[in-house]
Homo-oligomer: A and B are copies of this chain.
């Protein structure tokens, strides 16, 4: 390998935490160590960068974390980093420590910050997509998405047990403020009668039609999965509206909430995180900057951060049709 473009790097986790962030961090630190790159962990996202909260990390600093949810570096949303002054402070700390490359693990907001930081100060940055929402372009899956899907699915499987025993209708809210990936996939996987997501213009009439069709086939209980960001109505409103038209229904609401962000990462997430952590460090070494490391069809790919933010993984149209066909 020719000479590395970076000698000393820092790594941070930012935005909403996701299972597998620790596995990505471990991969960054150990890959850096393997290639004799010094590596610092930054605590609490961009806030730590601004406050100079750096931590020298070696291979043993990240032992026994590959299987842990959350992020040992902690995460935060930083208002100050959105200001020029904040970023200047952050840059000064980097200069002081001699840091010439920065690995940013997070989502949309994290990447926007990284991009601006790079454009203003020239420091090499590379992104790793870590968010349960899967709303980042340039990678088949984001880190944490697969684990969140399994968590949501397991919870809905349990809810189905009680729904079936009591002939109930459940409206289940899953995470996803702007993206319906979790709703669509967990709903498909649990045989939801209907799935409401922000990417599609849903109508209450269509939902009611589905209820009526289900009645005809003798289905006595139903699950409707609703993304947090659904525009038609929230789960409580949906339950209320449904009760008006179907007064005999025994309707309940469940909000899965923050448990979807935690838990030991799935195998797919640990492997993805390990590969992207490796890819981020080797990418920086090869001179890449302002890109995001991602996996497409088992291959490591780099996408300009700008593209990763602006473009979107689109909800597969087929999936909407399939979920409808299969939830008979």
Instruction: Please give the residue numbers on chain A whose beta carbons come within 8 Å of chain B beta carbons, in ascending order.
Output: 13, 17, 19, 21, 26-27, 30-31, 33-34, 59-60, 66-71, 74-76, 140, 146, 149-153, 155, 157-167, 170, 185-186, 188-191, 217-218, 252-264, 266-268, 270-271, 274-275, 278, 296-298, 300, 313, 316, 318-319, 322, 325-326, 328
Q: Are A326 and B162 within 8 A (Cβ)?
A: no
Q: Which residues of B contact A270 (CB under 8 A)?
A: 153, 188-189
Determine if A158 and B267 form an interchain contact, defined as CB atoms under 8 angstroms apart.
Answer: no
**By the criterion CB–CB under 8 Å, are B166 and A76 in contact?**
yes
Choose among B59, B74, B152, B297 the residue that contacts A165 (Cβ–Cβ < 8 A): B74
Residues of B within 8 A of A254 (CB): 257-259
Which residues does chain B contribute within 8 Å of A190, judged by CB atoms? 66-67
* Most B CB within 10 A of own CB, among A31, A258, A260, A300: A258
Chain B contacts for A300, CB-based, 8 A: 318
Report chain B residues within 8 Å CB of A153. 266-267, 270
Which of B31, B186, B316 is in CB contact (< 8 Å) with A267? B186
Contacts of A258 in B (CB 8 A): 158-159, 162-163, 170, 252, 254
The answer to whether A316 and B298 have CB atoms under 8 Å apart is yes
Within 8 Å CB of A185, what residues of B? 267, 271
Interface of A is mostly: helix
Residues in B whose Cβ lies below 8 Å from that of A217: 59-60
Return the contact of A146 from the options B76, B152, B268 (Cβ within 8 A).
B268
- Contact partner of A263 (CB less than 8 A), chosen from B71, B158, B297, is B158
The chain B residue with its CB closest to the CB of A156 is B259
A191 and B268 form a contact (CB under 8 A): no
User: Using Cβ atoms and an 8 Å threshold, which residues of chain B touch A253?
Assistant: 257
Given A185-B267, A270-B189, A318-B300, the answer on whether A326 and B166 have CB atoms closer than 8 Å is no
B158 touches A189 (CB 8 A): no
Which B residues are in CB contact (< 8 Å) with A298?
Answer: 140, 313, 316
